[in-house]
A = this chain, B = another copy of it.
Amino acid sequence: MGDFAFDADTRVMASSVRDEFAAELTGRWNGTNGAVNGGYMLAICLRALGLRMQFPDPIVVSGFFLRPGTAGPAVIGTTLTRSGRTTAFGEAVLWQGGKDVARAAAAFAALGGGAAGPAFMAGAPPDLPAPEECVGVPVGSFGLATIAERVEFRSASLPGWFRGEPTGRPASEFWMRFADGREADLYALPLLVDSTAPSVLELGMTSTTVQLTVHLRAHPAPGWLACRAGARFVSGGYHEEDFEIWDSAGRLVAQSRQLAMILGLCVAAYASRLRNRTAPTTSRTAV
């Protein structure tokens, strides 16, 4: 596992203080603002909690983002709050320089096998062309967003914000996978739901995540993940962003929602700057 970036970069080590773990936030999962991605910090918190839980599977995690995370050492403090018959609960704090950067709470359980199969589905995976027929925004186009080098995206057409023509429609469907071939698992999904360009870029807006809740609904099958992201309500200086991840077997594996605060209206200049830097890629790797 250690050969993959996600595993190397979310490793936590027991410390001399009981219930605390040491981690190293690498600079390899930064967003466009140069800060460490929130979903990446949630994944690290889950790693630490997972070492202490009596159940194997995170089923829901809620994270609040108090300060921007920066590349460098971090300490993860963990608390087990309840261990029940079917569900265990815990909380984690990610500190840097003695200050709270992110705070997470999670529930763990044992996700069922085939026995507890689908009972009702009012949604379906996005209907996308095959990944090899899709296009991706060039990795080098995301400015400070090193996370774009770690996670690969493909969509039927290039996003409006990239073309310098925001569509006014903050919703999208696309394929996603780790660029280095690591398959997604439950621990990776909270990072993946937070790894894309925010939907409100299509409204010419940028925003920052206040809180993110991720439901982990099933162990993902190997292969490309089909995703649907969108913001439906942008008002009063905030917006929600919903995200679904469907695996290659057509199962919903993660569903998330975040509350984000709008920072400004700036995408036109941003997009045209990006556009002039590099040409779009076509498919570069085998599926």
Our pick among B100, B117, B232 for the contact of A235 (Cβ within 8 Å) is B117
Complex CA distance for A258 and B170, rounded to whole angstroms: 24
Complex CA distance for A103 and B211, rounded to whole angstroms: 16
Interface string of A60-95 (1 = CB under 8 A from B): 101010110000000000000110101101010000
CB closest residue in chain B, given A265: B119
Copy total for this chain: 2
Is the CB–CB distance between A259 and B59 below 8 Å? yes
Our pick among B62, B66, B103, B121 for the contact of A232 (Cβ within 8 Å) is B121
Task: Choose the segment among A104-112, A156-164, A180-188 that binds chain B (4+ C-beta atoms closer than 8 Å).
Answer: A104-112
Is the CB–CB distance between B170 and A120 below 8 Å? yes
Q: Which of A33-61 contact B (CB under 8 A)?
A: 59-60
Chain B residues lying within 8 Å of A168, measured Cβ to Cβ, are 120
Task: Choose the segment among A1-9, A137-145, A213-221, A273-281 that binds chain B (4+ C-beta atoms closer than 8 Å).
Answer: A213-221
Is the CB–CB distance between B234 and A217 below 8 Å? no
Complex CA distance for A87 and B260, rounded to whole angstroms: 12
CB closest residue in chain B, given A257: B257
Complex CA distance for A239 and B107, rounded to whole angstroms: 14
A12 to chain B, nearest CB (A): 21
Main secondary structure of the interface of A (DSSP, over half): strand
Is the CB–CB distance between B238 and A107 below 8 Å? no
Q: Taking the complex as formed, is A134 at the interface, i.e. its CB lies under 8 A from any CB of chain B?
A: no
Is the CB–CB distance between B66 and A215 below 8 Å? no
Complex CA distance for A286 and B134, rounded to whole angstroms: 58
CB closest residue in chain B, given A237: B116
User: Which of A103, A117, A119, A238 counts the most chain B CB atoms within 10 A?
Assistant: A119
A: number of interface residues (CB 8 Å): 58
Complex CA distance for A217 and B64, rounded to whole angstroms: 17
A164 to chain B, nearest CB (A): 19
Complex CA distance for A43 and B116, rounded to whole angstroms: 33
Complex CA distance for A184 and B237, rounded to whole angstroms: 22
Interface string of A107-133 (1 = CB under 8 A from B): 101011000111111110000000000
Given contacts A105-B105, A213-B211, A259-B215, contact A234 B119 (CB under 8 A): yes
Is the CB–CB distance between A103 and B81 below 8 Å? yes
Given contacts A66-B82, A86-B261, A211-B62, contact A217 B235 (CB under 8 A): yes
